[in-house]
Chains A and B, each alone.
Chain A
């Protein structure tokens, strides 16, 4: 039992941090600019493929720094020459713009790197086992993921709440005209935020690429869960996203280890479970079987019970 709890807790934290790594850029853009960036996952793909390509030429570590800068630059250009023009037509136009952009980027990636997976591997310098718990190995690369996620969280938090830059960014969202009157270039602030947000997506791509699958459709399963993280965490809250990531990681991981169904519970309570009928499947499906769906259930419950999210300050 102790073994199962320890392993599940470790796996849950690691998965949660991976989620935060991917959701951090989305949260930044979503909470600081109010733009629901559907193309976020596409920048994540770009990051992974740039990381793959550069690590082929220069090795993993240069790729780790260069790829996010390049993708962030592309993101900034997209904001400057695309999103900024669409911005004045309101949030729906922005949403549609990023939605279309996602398809364009995916198609371009397919044209360049093909539809199959790229052989993007964990760098040799991190390809060893960090520690062993109950005879299960934990690779160093996962520890690297964990540290990177925590580092990004701390840096962003300090940047946004403790520095002048953060102050201006936050003010630009709520009082853009006042900030502009004070002599700050508000559009440039937005461009910067969007660039950094997409750059963070690329960081996630570079790191997650070798750990998961680097393929043009790699974001398909990931996109939706990131929105769950942001909504559950609460709009405008980085800490909320951090806590939500951990929560989802832990809930999902623990759920997988529970082989219990409604019928089992009824059986233990002394009630004979039904042996047939329309609901037979519902009684007998185990918690483990629906584990990956639980985050979405959480999303629905949060929206009903606490629409601002766990730590959110704004209404949707």
Chain B
């Protein structure tokens, strides 16, 4: 009996091994460490689709130095400890390039881990490409030579947002509502400081924080916004905290302009459409789907056809293209040489305009766009999440106007 069980087990294992896709031996692997199960899965999945598409696009054009680019997913379950376990697993399987984006707390843990790992393992360096974690500290006090950030950090976004808001004379009273954690706090602090400098006449009539992803009923918050007489609201809310806030506002008939970071995130456009707030919800991003830039419009078309979602991460396109470019210029896949090429690299970004990876802190700078959501017109080829509403670009902030000083004192490899 026992021997039969063992035989069956062996056969099963053999079958499973045989069924596993034979990984291309010489492919270049990029570990994708983000949530793929649990509450963050809907976000992590979109990122994975994006990187897989980018890998396919790269391979269609000859790959990296003639080798295929392969994205290997690792599920960090939105947990700092698990993120490090997954990064270690990736490194153990020989991967030298890691990308992650969701959650600045996990980004900080990975940045710290990679930096220490590289110190202790000279000759086996690992690079960390950050495509979405926006806590300014990652390229300031906590900066690392081995970390590269393609997303504009939250201070840069706030700079761009307030540069736009200062030109809007109809803004008199602003209400801030944010999630109570590091990112939400940095949005609120940034908004207070920058609006105070650029438009001292604007009154901040409310400054609210609420627990992250715990509020079901936003109507009392909306009642406060209404009572404050605000004409505009700034929020860094994302996910259900964004959707529920907007729906509650629409229910109560609150008429204000919304200046947001993540109205374009998964579920965001659906919520804006359901709340029926045309042309009143703005988002700040490095790109939206309807910018008049031919190659980006073309790219978006192919991307949507294959993945079924909007390209929410134009920065990921920049990331992968610059990775390929750096490897080619270095004519090597040695992370140290790739890093040296990325350091200070200048490019034309995905949707047009200049971009550069600042050598001082490895923060990427690029043009930023302000856009709002509403029914699409003839110049807007794309809608979002099949709502019939799409982005309309209302403001562009050039690269040089997004540059902020950094406090980074980087330890460079000698």
Contacts and interface: CB of A to CB of B under 8 A. Distances in A.
Contacts of A249: 217
A262 interface: no
A23 to B, nearest CB: 12
A213 B267 contact: yes
Given A116-B42, A119-B273, A221-B216, A215 B221 contact: no
Interface string B56-75: 00000000000000000000
A116 B266 contact: yes
Interface stretch (A6-14, A29-37, A64-72, A189-197): A6-14
Given A119-B270, A121-B274, A137 B217 contact: no
Given A139-B251, A222-B216, A292-B215, A116 B224 contact: no
B387 interface: yes
Contacts of B217: 11, 14-15, 18, 249, 252-253
A11 B221 CA distance: 10
B414 interface: no
A218 B219 contact: no
Contacts of A14: 217, 219
Contacts of B221: 256
Contacts of B180: 289
Interface in A54-71: none
Contacts of B213: 220-221
B8 interface: no
Nearest to B276: A127
Nearest to A121: B274
Contacts of A257: 220, 223-224
Interface string A188-217: 000000000000000000000011110111
Contact of A217 (B39, B223, B386): B39
A4 interface: yes
A117 interface: yes
A290 B387 CA distance: 35
Nearest to B268: A117
Contact of B216 (A121, A132, A225): A225
A216 to B, nearest CB: 7
Interface string B214-255: 111101110110110000000000001001100100011100
A249 B215 CA distance: 12
Nearest to B309: A116
Nearest to B42: A115
Contacts of A315: none
Given A4-B227, A8-B223, A217-B38, A212 B244 contact: yes
A92 interface: no
Contacts of B42: 114-117, 215-217
Interface in A129-156: 129, 132, 135-139, 141-142
Interface string A59-98: 0000000000000000000000000000000000000000
B41 A119 contact: no
B385 interface: yes
A15 B274 CA distance: 20
A212 B274 CA distance: 10
A110 interface: yes
B45 interface: yes
Interface string B184-226: 0000000000000000000000001111011111011101101
B315 to A, nearest CB: 20
B271 A213 contact: yes
A116 B251 contact: no
Nearest to A137: B253
Interface string A247-261: 001001110110000
A119 B385 contact: yes
A157 interface: no
Contacts of A291: 210, 220
Given A3-B227, A115-B41, A136-B252, A211 B247 contact: yes
A256 B213 CA distance: 16
B219 A11 contact: yes
B27 to A, nearest CB: 27
B220 A8 contact: yes
B202 to A, nearest CB: 20
Given A115-B45, A213-B267, A15 B240 contact: no
B360 to A, nearest CB: 33
Contact of B251 (A3, A137, A292): A137
A117 B251 CA distance: 19
A237 to B, nearest CB: 23
Contacts of B216: 15, 18, 212, 221-222, 225
A213 B240 contact: yes
B267 A221 contact: no
Given A7-B223, A257-B223, A292 B214 contact: yes
23 contacts: A4-B227, A11-B217, A11-B220, A115-B42, A117-B42, A119-B274, A136-B253, A137-B253, A212-B244, A215-B240, A216-B42, A221-B213, A249-B217, A252-B217, A256-B220, A257-B220, A257-B223, A290-B211, A291-B210, A291-B220, A292-B210, A292-B211, A293-B211
Interface of B: 38-39, 41-42, 45-46, 180, 208-211, 213-217, 219-221, 223-224, 226-227, 240, 243-244, 247, 251-253, 266-267, 270-271, 273-274, 309, 385-387
Given A221-B215, A288-B208, A291-B220, 6 more contacts: A8-B220, A213-B243, A217-B42, A221-B216, A256-B224, A289-B210
Query: 9 closest A-B pairs (Cβ-Cβ)?
Result: A115-B42, A137-B253, A256-B220, A117-B267, A15-B217, A11-B219, A253-B220, A292-B214, A217-B39
